[in-house]
Structure 1
Amino acid sequence: ARIVGNGVDLEGRPYVVLSNTAFYPTGGGQPHDTGTIEGVRVIDVEEVDGEIRHFLDEELHSQKEVEAAIDWERRLDHMQQHAGQHILTAAFVRLFGFQTVSFHLGKGLVSIDLDVESVTAEQMAAAEKLANDIILENRPIETKWVTEDELSEFSLRKQVSVTDEIRLVIIPDFDDNGCGGTHPSSTGQVGLLKIISTEMQKRKVRVHFVCGDRVLQQLHRKHEELSAASKLLSAPEDGVRSAIERLLSSHHELEKSLEKTNEELLSFEAKHLLEMKNGNIVKGSFTERTVQELQKLARMIVAEDNSVIVFLAAENEDRLQFVAARGASISPSMKLVSAAVLPHLNGKGGGNDAFVQGGGEQKMAAEELLNVMENTIIN
């Protein structure tokens, strides 16, 4: 080809425009090709204002004919994934009438969004099987340029968005679809298709899958993870699931035991703080205690003695948190305490007349904060 245009985009990337090109520009859910032009790396390809711009990692100027080469490994991968998408999409349509509304070819996984709110495991398995049957049959994948008037001769699974120079990608007796992407010449070249996972996306089902060499890559990665898990659990690979279930069961039992022990310790701590009360005021300062623990402790204390007021504060890294509670027979509102101390902390809090909590910047020690809280009630 010849270089018929040069430029630099707004990001400072140099580019050339060729008299003709084999490089696919980003579009239709498929990423761009990479490769070289006269040995200079092509890092991106985009269609801008009707011209195909080949973005380079350095400037290139030549009046002579230049030689360009695409990265074939990348192109073949994209061809496999894109053709696999056509096949899987057609399988969902043929079996269940599920239409695909979007397609994305990522670096690791490929995805389609089905225009339905749920898909069963059985439906996924059936679509995957049909797709692999079509791949195994090694049907030809044909491309054909047609006019708008000729479209009625084909069973398109969706309407095309262009009106002239319409390119159809055809898998005989299975799928006719308007598409400008790259595809192999037969379904057998897709190799294999495997659905990896699904997720909900804005009332659509997103299906993640891979084709061709990516299936082997996924298998290799998952085998490494399974092998590592097998060694950690000291279990055979086919026994990893059972070993994890036993481990989780043991973990849940341990959590329950720890929770019960913690409740007992908090109950003992509440009684100890009550013994240390000054008049009807109970105070306690701590470090690295969660506000949830402070809340439990305060509720235990006022449940044990409804005639006390409880002030608790904890220093957590650069945060200072507090809880204030009153027994049922005490009248002062704890909201007064919260309103008085929060400005000292540039903090936020909430609660009601009987119980408040809050926190903010650690601009004073926990003991100082407790004194401010107590003075608010005394005054």
Structure 2
Amino acid sequence: MENKLFYQDPYIKTFSAKVVTQRIDENGNYYIVLDQTAFYPTGGGQPHDVGTIENIKVLNVEEVEGEVRHYLETELDDGNAVVHGVIDWERRFDHMQQHAGQHILSAAFEHLFGYKTVGFHLGNETLTIDLETENLLESEALRVEELSNQIIIENWPIETKWVTEEELVKYNLRKETKVKEDIRLVIIPDFDYNGCGGTHPRATCEVQAIKILDWERQKKKTRVQFICGNRVIKQLSQKHKVLMELTKLLNAPVKDMQHAVSRLIENGKTAEKELEQILETILHYEATSLLDKMEKKIVSNVFQNRSIQDLQKLARIIIAKDEEAIVLFVSHNENRLQLVCARGNEEKVSMKKVMGEALPFINGKGGGSDSFAQGGGEALISNEQMLKHLLEIIQ
């Protein structure tokens, strides 16, 4: 492990190393291997580091068959026997905060309620742990969060130690280690003992804070979403900004925001219902107007940019008003034609058959029943021409 500088000192930001090899992997991606590196490769739930090597962006870092591969944006010059690497420290320290915070939170869940952590994911915005319990109470989450932040405030040390498999019996591990060699323990003395290959700060105070955001049941487990460190400050700032904008828009103080939003939603629902009723009334007037223009029991019309749902409603109103009516509607919507064909109960013409004969003119698709059918296709002809075809099929 001596060539992995992030284990010797996770605070290393720059380093120099010799180029061991330069290759292209099976997917055509260029990478280099160094004799030592401070770049952490993806593993143990922690994402890889990024940064630069000789001012070339490091896009990905993976450990494959014992070698740490640094995938670069462009190739190195052949003359670079020794290179200079720079770690993106903001990203590295964020991962250190989040990973240590996860250890603290998982240990707190186990100490207080015996809930074991069986899954962990460190994302770009939030983290999640999967707990071995089907239910999590709000009171339990609050107690765990309180204990976690107390551990942070008290500034407990975070130690790392390399041990053999035989030495593991000396430690009260939170979970069994997966590896049998090169076992690395991350220890918060008298609180948490855990096998882990990630990067962590020297003490709990550097985690700054832990905030549980939400949780949900996942099969027979509970997935807890949370954030640590600078992410708490960043999200608080973002959410506060949104909240302040809402107070201006809703003309209500923060403490009344929930009531103001609920009132706005209810008013919106009421307005939506009223609008639906108005549109329904308009459709009835439109149906009456079209019936007045009916010729030989056929109500036909062309439209521009009318939705298929709108035409269906209008057609149903017409055949409800006149059971002998046949309805033929065509709407031109951008580069498509939409068709609706309907008949009242007193008519016997199959609308499904009419639709089937009309759709080939526009390479269309549709369906329905003998009494009501709809379809659509490419606007290969005008809506007036399509209506003419429908009338010819009916006649």
* Fold conserved between structures, TM > 0.5: yes
251-260 vs 147-156, greater mean Cα deviation: 147-156
Find the counterpart in structure 1 of residue 149 from structure 2.
132
Structure 1 residues 1-379: aligned runs within 5 Å: 2-10=17-25, 15-37=31-53, 42-57=58-73, 59=76, 68-116=85-133, 118-198=135-215, 205-378=222-395
Measure the CA separation in 2 of the matches of 1:9 and 1:200.
43
Deviations 1:297-323 (A, max 9, x none): 111111111111111121111121111
Question: Cα distance, 1:204 vs. partner?
Answer: 5.2
Q: Aligned to 1:226, what secondary structure does the other structure show?
A: helix
In 2, Cα distance between the equivalents of 1:201 and 1:342? Answer: 47
Percent identity for Structure 1 against Structure 2: 51
Counterpart of 2:6?
A: none
Deviations 1:96-128 (A, max 9, x none): 444433322222222233455554433333332
8 Å CA contact 1:100–1:114 kept in 2: the answer is yes
For 1:354 and 1:37, how far apart are their aligned partners in 2?
Answer: 72
1:244/1:39 CA distance change after superposition, 3 Å:
same
Letter aligned with residue 20 of structure 2: G
Work out the CA distance in 2 between the residues paired with 1:244 and 1:278: 52
Q: Which moved more, 1:300-309 or 1:92-101?
A: 92-101
Counterparts of 1:203 and 1:156 in 2: how far apart (Å)? 24
How many Å separate the matches in 1 of 2:339 and 2:154? 70
1:222: Cα distance to partner? 0.9
- Give the Cα–Cα distance (whole angstroms) in 1 for the partners of residues 318 and 384 of structure 2: 19
How many residues were matched structurally? Answer: 378
Write the distance in 2 (CA, Å) between the matches of 1:164 and 1:314.
72
- Check 1:277–1:99 CA distance in 2 against 1; reply closer, same or farther (3 A cut): farther
Query: Is the 8 Å Cα contact of residues 19 and 83 (structure 2) preserved in structure 1?
Result: no
Q: Which is worse superposed, 28-37 or 360-369? A: 28-37
* Shift of residue 241, structure 1, vs aligned partner: 2.6
SS at match of 2:389: helix
CA contact under 8 A between 1:14 and 1:59: conserved in structure 2? no
TM-score for both structures, normalised by structure 1: 0.90
Partner of 2:13: none
Partners of 2:76 and 2:315 in 1: CA distance: 70
| 1:212 positional shift | 0.9
Deviations 1:33-79 (A, max 9, x none): 23455665544322123111234455156687655443333322111
Shift of 1:332: 1.8
Q: 1:42 to 1:309 in 2, by over 3 A?
A: closer
Q: Secondary structure at the match of 1:161?
A: coil
Paired with 1:95 and 1:349, the residues of 2 have a C-alpha distance of: 61
Q: Secondary structure at the match of 2:386?
A: helix
**Runs of 5+ unmatched residues, structure 1:** none
How far is 1:341 from its partner?
Answer: 1.6
Does the Cα contact within 8 Å between 1:3 and 1:62 map onto a contact in 2? Answer: no
Contact conserved, 1:334 with 1:352, CA < 8 A, in 2? yes
Contact in 1 for aligned 2:42/2:48 (Cα 8 Å): yes
Q: Secondary structure at the match of 1:17?
A: strand
Is the 1:35–1:71 Cα contact (8 Å) retained in structure 2? yes
CA RMSD of aligned residues (A): 2.5
Structure 1 residues 291 and 14, CA, compared in 2 at 3 Å: closer, same or farther? closer
Tell me which moved more, 301-310 or 35-44.
35-44
Cα 1:55/1:266, change in 2 over 3 Å: same
Cα distance, 1:200 vs structure 2: 5.9
In structure 2, stretches of 5+ residues that fail to align are 1-15
Moved more, 118-127 or 250-259: 118-127
Distance in 2, Cα, partners of 1:39 & 1:284: 68
2:9 aligned partner: none
